[in-house]
Chains A and B, each alone.
Chain A
Amino acid sequence: MPKPTETTPANPTLTARLRKSFPAAERTFSLDVEFNAAPGFTILFGPSGAGKTTLLDCVAGLTTPDAGRISVGERILFDAGSRIDIPVASRGVGYVVQDLALFPHLTVEENTEYGLFHLPRPARRERAADMLREFRIDHLSRQRHAQISGGERQRVALARTLVTDPCVLLLDEPLAALDATTKSKIIDDLRRWNQAHRIPILYVTHSREEVLALGERVLVMEQGRSIAQGTPHEVLRTPLQETVAQLAGFENIFDATVESIHEDRGTVLCRVLSSALTRPDAGSSVILETPLIRAVAGSLLRVGIRAGDILLAINPPTGLSARNVIPGNLISLEQRDVIVSARVDCGVEMEVHLTLAARDTLHLAPGKDVWLVIKTHSCHLMQK
């Protein structure tokens, strides 16, 4: 049974090293990761199919790894070497799955009491009622799953799991289906709960906002491997690898070589070689000033620029602090919802995001000459 967290002075860290293969006809998927999750939020970030849910299933005990070891502090949950495999029900690992799995025939209150069956009825009632109050859903206690909203269901699923005082919490995209307002309210609730309890929480998400709002640490996964770990700032703001960059939302990614290094000014000049995503081999004359990194002249690297970080001007701009002003020619304009995506040929092709009003005021049309303005610090350098 889960130990009450109050009795443990410093909550233990979740340590896992595991390997799991799923043989498939075309391509065998294999998960092979090693990580530590200290008390607090650890975000699992990565494209679908990266193995995030499989990892959670292994920690919960719903999937048995082929090899490895999972422990919480001194307590071993799984060890292939010594054939330890604690059953799901005895692990004390709380797991909120993506589609919640609320029991449809039970009321909100009965769902919340479900994991407390070892307590006498009055104690069970009281604990569940406290938890429902904490998540501000006590007024729904007699309702069933079908009668409440998506955000309320999410809270019930969280309350039902948290009331059991788990030693580790697994959350699989818990907020994916919710609107922004509900999302931020639940994020606040989760933060508050985390402050009070401090247990390792593995949190799967695709959303950058959630990573930045909750993440104390981020584990980036791709194809069953962990490809980056660190604080959200380290992992997302200055990505090291191209896969991370794409996840972090860089629409423009280019190969480049280091032209010259200016340590005194804290900058590097890079010559863009090609658009890595569209025309792999073409050269170009575009030179970008980027922040200083440790590199030698002539070395190859990659530059990522968000489409929303680029300014577009229809006259040669002057008197700017931004160091990169690149002339180009507008290729196309495409409206996506309330954003206009402009493609500009400036030796390499760049994507720029504009508002509808900007497009109309500037009378933009394909063929028009434009200038792109990019701040030095909007150019993110990565390993090639």
Chain B
Amino acid sequence: MLIDWQAFRLTIELAVVVSAVLLLIGLPLAYWIAFSRWRWRFIVEAMVALPIVLPPTVLGFYVLVALGSRSPLGRWWQSLTGHTLAFTFIGLVIGSILYSLPFAVQPFAASFSSVDRKLLAASATLGASPLRTFFRIVLPLSVPGLVTGISLAFAHTMGEFGVVLMVGGNIPGITRTVSIGIYDQVQASDYASANAMALLLLVFCFGVLTLVYALNRRPHQGSWTVGPIK
């Protein structure tokens, strides 16, 4: 029996980096989705949701093409660094960000939209700019949604397979994640090792999610309502 600790380290690294980047790009994107009055907004919403329904191989295929030396992005990266993005950790990060985007952005946007608009109006009449209103009112009232989005993105990246296989291949220490490792061991009929790694991943993911949901319990749920007592 053999547990591939390197694959575990790599997978957690990938999930942490992807979650962090999704927090950074997900907040403005979700804000825009929640508050934009642009009439074609639904197109952007559909694009963000696409990875939920698309087979990972389709997404992975296009990411691979986009990162390859024939695409402008791939060429630009190659001229900068001397090698292509495909089959690298960075390439894996890019693919995973796209793949997990809806899992972060949708809970963010939903919690932003559920903040009472009257609070936003009140903030504006008290002289606060939209940016100030976002950081002082919208964000603090959306903490549960943020935690949900980030933990879903994290868990989703931990368990991803298809995109990683297409974009990263199976390079130990660089792109071989736990799910790829398990697949490898099953292919090699090493069921004991596959079982050990699968069980470990299961326990780890369950532990992370349990912790997140435990922290996300609001002690005074229901008390954060708006309006006078009747």
Chain A residue total in the interface (Cβ 8 A): 38
Q: Given known contacts A150-B229, A153-B229, A177-B228, is B127 in contact with A89 (CB within 8 Å)?
A: yes
Interchain CB contact (< 8 A) of B141 among A2, A90, A105, A144: A105
Per the bound structure, the CA–CA distance linking A154 and B228 in Å amounts to: 8
Contact B126 A114 (CB under 8 A): yes
**Cβ-closest chain A residue relative to B228:** A177
A99 sits at the interface (CB 8 A)? yes
B-contacting residues, A85-123, CB 8 Å:
87-95, 97, 99-105, 114-115, 117-118
B136 sits at the interface (CB 8 A)? yes
Per the bound structure, the CA–CA distance linking A327 and B112 in Å amounts to: 67
Interchain CB contact (< 8 A) of B228 among A61, A88, A99, A114: A99
Per the bound structure, the CA–CA distance linking A362 and B140 in Å amounts to: 65
Q: In the complex, what residues of A have CB within 8 A of residue B228's CB?
A: 99-100, 150, 153-154, 177-178
Per the bound structure, the CA–CA distance linking A144 and B223 in Å amounts to: 9
A205 sits at the interface (CB 8 A)? no
Query: B121, B125, B226: which has the most chain A beta carbons within 10 Å?
Result: B125
Query: B124, B136, B225: which has the most chain A beta carbons within 10 Å?
Result: B124
Q: In the complex, what residues of B have CB within 8 A of residue A105's CB?
A: 140-141, 224
Q: In the complex, what residues of B have CB within 8 A of residue A177's CB?
A: 228-230
**Cβ-closest chain A residue relative to B118:** A101
B-contacting residues, A127-173, CB 8 Å:
144-146, 149-150, 153-154, 160-161, 164
Contact B224 A104 (CB under 8 A): yes
**Cβ-closest chain B residue relative to A104:** B224
Q: Given known contacts A146-B225, A153-B228, A177-B228, is B119 in contact with A101 (CB within 8 Å)?
A: yes
Q: Given known contacts A88-B121, A161-B126, is B132 in contact with A117 (CB within 8 Å)?
A: yes
Q: In the complex, what residues of A have CB within 8 A of residue B123's CB?
A: 103, 114
A1 sits at the interface (CB 8 A)? yes
Distance in angstroms from B221 CB to nearest chain A CB is 11
B128 sits at the interface (CB 8 A)? yes
Distance in angstroms from A359 CB to nearest chain B CB is 32
B199 sits at the interface (CB 8 A)? no
Q: In the complex, what residues of A have CB within 8 A of residue B225's CB?
A: 104, 146
Per the bound structure, the CA–CA distance linking A171 and B127 in Å amounts to: 17
A60 sits at the interface (CB 8 A)? yes
Distance in angstroms from B74 CB to nearest chain A CB is 44
Contact B126 A102 (CB under 8 A): no
Contact A114 B136 (CB under 8 A): yes
Distance in angstroms from B71 CB to nearest chain A CB is 43
B129 sits at the interface (CB 8 A)? yes
Q: In the complex, what residues of A have CB within 8 A of residue B82's CB?
A: none
B184 sits at the interface (CB 8 A)? no
Distance in angstroms from A133 CB to nearest chain B CB is 20
A297 sits at the interface (CB 8 A)? no
Query: A88, A145, A149: which has the most chain B beta carbons within 10 Å?
Result: A88
Interchain CB contact (< 8 A) of B121 among A1, A101, A154: A101
Contact A99 B226 (CB under 8 A): yes
Q: In the complex, what residues of A have CB within 8 A of residue B137's CB?
A: 103
Contact A99 B224 (CB under 8 A): no
B208 sits at the interface (CB 8 A)? no
A62 sits at the interface (CB 8 A)? yes
B122 sits at the interface (CB 8 A)? yes
Q: In the complex, what residues of B have CB within 8 A of residue A178's CB?
A: 228
**Cβ-closest chain B residue relative to A148:** B229
B217 sits at the interface (CB 8 A)? no
Distance in angstroms from B116 CB to nearest chain A CB is 7
Q: In the complex, what residues of B have CB within 8 A of residue A101's CB?
A: 116, 118-119, 121-122, 226
B207 sits at the interface (CB 8 A)? no
Per the bound structure, the CA–CA distance linking A99 and B225 in Å amounts to: 11
Q: In the complex, what residues of A have CB within 8 A of residue B220's CB?
A: 146
Q: In the complex, what residues of B have CB within 8 A of residue A88's CB?
A: 121, 124-125
Q: Given known contacts A150-B228, A177-B228, is B122 in contact with A97 (CB within 8 Å)?
A: yes
Contact B224 A100 (CB under 8 A): no
Q: Given known contacts A103-B119, A105-B140, is B224 in contact with A160 (CB within 8 Å)?
A: no
Contact B136 A99 (CB under 8 A): no
**Cβ-closest chain A residue relative to B122:** A101
B-contacting residues, A57-86, CB 8 Å:
60-62
Interchain CB contact (< 8 A) of A164 among B127, B132, B227: B127
Contact B141 A104 (CB under 8 A): yes
Per the bound structure, the CA–CA distance linking A95 and B122 in Å amounts to: 7
B-contacting residues, A25-80, CB 8 Å:
60-62
Contact A99 B227 (CB under 8 A): yes
Interface string of A184-196 (1 = CB under 8 A from B): 0000000000000
Contact A164 B121 (CB under 8 A): no
**Cβ-closest chain A residue relative to B229:** A150
Distance in angstroms from A181 CB to nearest chain B CB is 15
Q: In the complex, what residues of A have CB within 8 A of residue B128's CB?
A: 89, 114-115, 117
Per the bound structure, the CA–CA distance linking A117 and B119 in Å amounts to: 17
Contact A149 B126 (CB under 8 A): no
Query: Which 7 pairs, one residue from A and one from B, show the smallest C-beta to C-beta distance?
Result: A115-B126, A146-B223, A101-B122, A88-B124, A104-B224, A99-B227, A101-B118
A-B CB contact pairs (8 Å), 17 listed: A2-B127, A62-B125, A89-B124, A89-B125, A100-B226, A103-B119, A103-B122, A103-B123, A103-B137, A104-B141, A114-B126, A115-B126, A117-B132, A144-B223, A161-B126, A164-B127, A177-B228
Task: Name 14 extra pairs, CB < 8 A, besides A90-B127, A117-B132.
Answer: A60-B121, A89-B126, A89-B127, A89-B128, A95-B125, A97-B118, A97-B122, A99-B118, A100-B226, A100-B227, A114-B128, A144-B223, A154-B228, A161-B125
